Amino acid sequence: MELSAEGIGHSFGALEVLDGIDFRVAAGEILAVIGPSGCGKSTLLSILGGLLQPDKGRAALDGAPPADSLNPLTFVFQDFALLPWRTVRGNVELALEHHRLSGPERRERVEAALAAIGLAEFKDVYPKQLSGGMRQRVGIARALVVRPAILLMDEPLSALDAQTRELLMEDFLDLWLDAKVSAVYVTHNLTEALRLADRILVLSRRPGRIKEMVRVPIPQRERTSLAAQAELAALSDTLWQSIKREAQVADREMTDV
Amino acid sequence: MSDPGVPPSPARRTVPFRGGGFAPQSRSWISWATLVVVLGAWQGAVSGGLVSPIFLPSPWTILLALKSLIVSGELWRHLAASLSRIGLGWALGTMAGIVVGVMMGLFTSFRSGGIPMVSALYPIPKIALLPLFILWFGIGETPKIVTIGFGVFFATVIATFTGVDGVPRSLIRMGQSFGMPMFGIVRKILLPGALPGILAGFRISASTALLLVVSAEMVGAQLGIGSFVLSAGNLMQTDQLLAGVAVLSVLGLMIGLLLSRLEKWLLRWR
């Protein structure tokens, strides 16, 4: 299944946050969206996932989702959005409860999703007992359990510390490359984008417009090698130069307009 | 590795400590001692003839009065009458209050219509409406129960809709992003999320119910702690009167304890 943005533009009242966004995410592709804070990245993701009605343009899908997909467009949230009164298992099950599944099938899906992300032994624990990284793993298990075609990830690692982030990035790669899901990965972190994405979409500051679309020429699995590191550092520098000025101006803008 | 630093000098002083205080603790022996001292002083003042036992009977006399009420079974008849009124009134008011509160938390029309109504009616001391309810429903149990229910209703509505408002919108968006139907979102996200607020409202509504049951029973009832306290006062039986008041204190404590248990169990995920 392929997801396209067709001329998406949006305003909150008089505040224009997005303008003329056009792109297409191919099947199995990972697209990172980066840009300064307040440039409408999260708004764009909400529009793509049907949680927000855009003022202009539309999000569109091509092709059928996989037969076993219960929720083709699935979010992973920055703040995890776990229900604190449900255990890990209960949070993952929540995504299935309104679908017609037999008891054993549901259990089997939940077990598989928990095992895939290393949560099997934390099934009966409440979110407050878990570290941030483990909480986001629950968020990911909940996303996987519905067998998504496209993951919409809203800064999924930005609430976590640097070491946890490293660990989870590796998990993401394993999951994506195994399950062949595509993803739109919103972040303000260049390192994450360069490590995970096939292509990087750079947004300008508000109103967010497409500034650049960069392809990362090295396969994800090879990006940790020394040779690749040098090439990525150069790419990172180019990208940083491109967004630095925007970030500086955005930083000085009043957020509460 | 140690930092060689600066050698000691005569002018070197300790940084003054300024982080103390603001950390009161609870010591159970002080709690008990205070109780004993207050009761002892009271008993002493009455026994020593400082206070007339007709106006303020001693704790011991009150205890004896309480014992005779228990033995004669009179206490249970009054308590049963009061408890059944509280139970019915509170349950009805709470159910209606939660339903209306959730609607106000969900729908613009209910919210816009409800907030001014609640704001106008909540400050009324509900006991003022008892005469009206007696005209509507006749003398008997109904007007008392309706008065209690009415008082409980408004406290619950306010607790419920502020509780619903306090549920993070991100959790609701999450439910929607997984295609959950609206009823499922209400049942699995909104209500459990509002539960801490609703339970906090129970404390307020329970004390409202206790206040209203006593007041209503004082206006017109044969049975009930309120009517018992009133008639004891009319007969200048101050020991009986205060025994009734002591029962109310214990009742309030028990309700509070019950609610704490309920909170602890229902909110064990916190």
Per-residue pLDDT at A37 exceeds 80: no
Considering the domain architecture, whether residues A31 and A97 belong to the same structural domain is answered as no
What is the pLDDT, as a whole number, of residue B67?
Answer: 95
Question: How many angstroms away from the CA of A51 is the closest CA of chain B?
Answer: 7
- Dist CA A108 CA B5 (whole Å): 64
Considering the domain architecture, whether residues A128 and A154 belong to the same structural domain is answered as no
Q: Cβ–Cβ of B173/A97 closer than 8 Å?
A: no
Answer yes or no: is A3 within a domain: yes
What is the b/e burial string over A210-233, where b = at least 16 CB atoms within 10 angstroms of the residue's CB? bbeebebebebeebeeeebeeebe
Nearest to B152 by CA among B203, B76, B110: B203
Answer yes or no: is A97 within a domain: yes
Chain A residue with the nearest C-alpha to that of B168: A81
Neighbours of B212 (CB within 10 A): 28
Considering the domain architecture, whether residues A163 and A59 belong to the same structural domain is answered as yes
What is the tally of structural domains in chain A?
Answer: 2
Per-residue pLDDT at A196 exceeds 80: yes
What domain range includes position B191? 59-264
What is the pLDDT, as a whole number, of residue A245?
Answer: 79
What would the pLDDT profile of A150-192 be if each residue is shown by its tens digit? 999 999 998 899 889 988 998 888 888 887 889 999 998 899 9
What would the pLDDT profile of A1-20 be if each residue is shown by its tens digit? 999 999 999 999 888 999 99
What is the pLDDT, as a whole number, of residue A156?
Answer: 92
Considering the domain architecture, whether residues A233 and A114 belong to the same structural domain is answered as no
What is the pLDDT, as a whole number, of residue A97?
Answer: 94
What is the pLDDT, as a whole number, of residue B245?
Answer: 95
Query: Of A104, A128, A148, which residue sits at a domain end?
Result: A148
Considering the domain architecture, whether residues A58 and A137 belong to the same structural domain is answered as no
Answer yes or no: is A144 within a domain: yes
DSSP A75: E
Answer yes or no: is A45 within a domain: no
Helix (H) or strand (E) holding A137: helix A132-144
Answer yes or no: is A203 within a domain: yes
Instruction: Check which CATH number belongs to the domain holding B214 and give it.
Output: 1.10.3720.10
Please state the φ and ψ torsions of residue B66, each to the nearest 5 degrees.
Answer: -60, -40
What is the pLDDT, as a whole number, of residue A256?
Answer: 53
Per-residue pLDDT at A64 exceeds 70: yes
- Dist CA B230 CA B163 (whole Å): 38
Q: Provide the H-helix boundaries in chain B.
A: 28-47, 59-72, 74-106, 108-121, 130-137, 141-165, 169-177, 182-185, 191-219, 225-234, 238-266
- Mutant choice from A77, A89, A98 vs B, greatest count of B C-beta within 10 A: A98
Chain A residue with the nearest C-alpha to that of B189: A83
Answer yes or no: is A71 within a domain: no
Answer yes or no: is A29 within a domain: yes
Chain A residue with the nearest C-alpha to that of B266: A85
Per-residue pLDDT at A68 exceeds 60: yes
The minimal CB distance from A126 to the residues B176, B177, B269 is found for: B269
ipTM: 0.91
What is the pLDDT, as a whole number, of residue B3?
Answer: 72
Q: Cβ–Cβ of B270/A77 closer than 8 Å?
A: no
Chain A residue with the nearest C-alpha to that of B180: A98
Q: Cβ–Cβ of A94/B178 closer than 8 Å?
A: yes
- Interface contact B176, partner A, CB < 8 A: yes
Confidence of residue A208 (pLDDT cuts 50, 70, 90): confident
Per-residue pLDDT at A205 exceeds 90: no
- Alpha carbon separation from A69 to A82, A147, A237, B264 (Å, rounded): 21, 5, 39, 39
- Alpha carbon separation from B160 to A81, B118, B131, B202 (Å, rounded): 22, 12, 29, 10
Answer yes or no: is B99 within a domain: yes
What domain range includes position A194? 1-40+53-65+150-257
Considering the domain architecture, whether residues A188 and A235 belong to the same structural domain is answered as yes
Q: Cβ–Cβ of B178/A81 closer than 8 Å?
A: no
Considering the domain architecture, whether residues A225 and A168 belong to the same structural domain is answered as yes
What is the pLDDT, as a whole number, of residue B12?
Answer: 86
Per-residue pLDDT at A30 exceeds 70: yes
Instruction: Check which CATH number belongs to the domain holding A35 and give it.
Output: 3.40.50.300
What is the tally of structural domains in chain B?
Answer: 1
Nearest to A221 by CA among A245, A202, A196, A246: A196
Q: Cβ–Cβ of A84/B270 closer than 8 Å?
A: yes
Answer yes or no: is A73 within a domain: no
* Prior bond of B53 cis (ω within 30°): no
Considering the domain architecture, whether residues A205 and A174 belong to the same structural domain is answered as yes
- Dist CA A184 CA B34 (whole Å): 65
Answer yes or no: is B34 within a domain: no
Confidence of residue A257 (pLDDT cuts 50, 70, 90): very low
What is the pLDDT, as a whole number, of residue A157?
Answer: 92
DSSP B190: I
Per-residue pLDDT at A53 exceeds 90: yes
- Dist CA B252 CA B237 (whole Å): 23
Considering the domain architecture, whether residues A164 and A58 belong to the same structural domain is answered as yes
Query: Of A148, A166, A187, which residue sits at a domain end?
Result: A148
Q: Are B189 and B43 in contact (CB under 8 A)?
A: no
Considering the domain architecture, whether residues A114 and A234 belong to the same structural domain is answered as no
**What is the residue-wise DSSP string for B203-251?**
HHHHHHHHHHHHHHHHHS-SSSHHHHHHHHHHTT-HHHHHHHHHHHHHH
Answer yes or no: is B46 within a domain: no
Task: Report the phi/psi class of residue B140: left, alpha or beta, with left for phi > 0 and alpha for psi in -120 to 50.
Answer: left
Answer yes or no: is B222 within a domain: yes
Spell out, as residue ranges, where chain B has pLDDT lower than 50. Answer: none
What is the pLDDT, as a whole number, of residue B1?
Answer: 56
Considering the domain architecture, whether residues A59 and A185 belong to the same structural domain is answered as yes
